[in-house]
Amino acid sequence: MLWLIFSAALTTQALAPLSVVNEQLIIEFKPRSPDQMASFYEARGFPKVMRDILRKQCYITVGITNTSQQKIWLDLADWKFSANGKKLERQHRDHWKQRWQDMGMPLRHQSTFRWTLIPEALDYLPGEHEGGNLVLPFSKEQITLDAVFATGENKQGKPIHIHYDQIYCAEDSP
């Protein structure tokens, strides 16, 4: 019985989100394994050729909550990823759209994939929470994020700078 409790605690700990918390926002990162994502997309009818491509990527589900009293602006162009000091290039959603079109994938699957991604740009009102998936090239190295968020009604406020180096790509269990 003790082993079951210990095992459950380890499982819960492994699934706990990685978080950045400051006075203005909360960002949670939840690494997703290839099996998790492949199962999600398979349940939505994605063809194997699409799932095989997606299994080779790194998925991080991101949730952002604006805990400030001002508007905060997400722009993924202002997010820089690196692993072991080398730039890790995140593909824009337009890249994926073009790839799926070039492969002749059904529009319903293209649309489903698109709505699972975090928006490229979005304004967060005070108290608002929004998120989605980041798709990065797979890396066995720890991933560092350097991000900037504009603030204020017209992006005229003091920017928020985030440096976080505890992101990782989840792998399937052996």
Query: Over the stretch 115-126, which tens digit does the pLDDT of each residue have?
Result: 999 999 999 999
CA angle, 45 then 120 then 67, to 5°: 110
Which residues are CB-neighbours of 92 under 8 A, at least 6 positions away? 76, 120
List own/partner pairs for 4-9 with CB under 8 A and 24 or more apart: none
Report pTM. Answer: 0.87
Q: What is the pLDDT of residue 14?
A: 47
Note the CATH architecture for domain 16-167. Answer: Sandwich (2.60)
Would the pLDDT of 1 be above 80? no
For residue 56, with 0-12 CB atoms within 10 Å meaning exposed, 13-18 middle and 19 or more buried, which class applies? exposed
Average pLDDT over residues 89-95: 94
Q: Residue ranges per domain, the chain?
A: 16-167
67 SS3 class: coil
pLDDT confidence tier of residue 127, bands split at 50, 70 and 90: very high
**Which position has the higher pLDDT, 140 or 17?**
140
